Amino acid sequence: MNIDIHIDELVLEGFDFHDHKRIAASMKVELARLITEKGLGMQLDRTSDLGRVSAPAFNVPTDRNPRAIGREIARSVYKGMKK
């Protein structure tokens, strides 16, 4: 089964503008990994739409590494998708 995820908007306030693309890319890779390895835990069909996902808060890594931030965002979004 193929799953298409469309994220309409990812607001990254307080981060260097130049890091936005790296954060988003890291988030995409980590979210794909989580879904591939752990699944979603729900039945999806061609018409499934999660609508809005409320992601829980997360701690920003102390080193503010864009890749680490992207992974944390993905993990939070993944938790929100499983609710």
Give the per-residue pLDDT at 34. 93
| pLDDT tens-place string over residues 35-74 | 889 887 665 544 556 666 777 888 887 788 999 999 999 9
Neighbours of 30 (CB within 10 A): 20
| C-beta of residue 10 within 8 angstroms of C-beta of residue 28 | no
Cα separation, 15 vs 80, in Å, equals 22
- pTM equals 0.79
Cα separation, 62 vs 75, in Å, equals 17
Cα separation, 10 vs 76, in Å, equals 13
Give the per-residue pLDDT at 1. 64
Q: Which two tokens stand for residue 30?
A: 């980590």
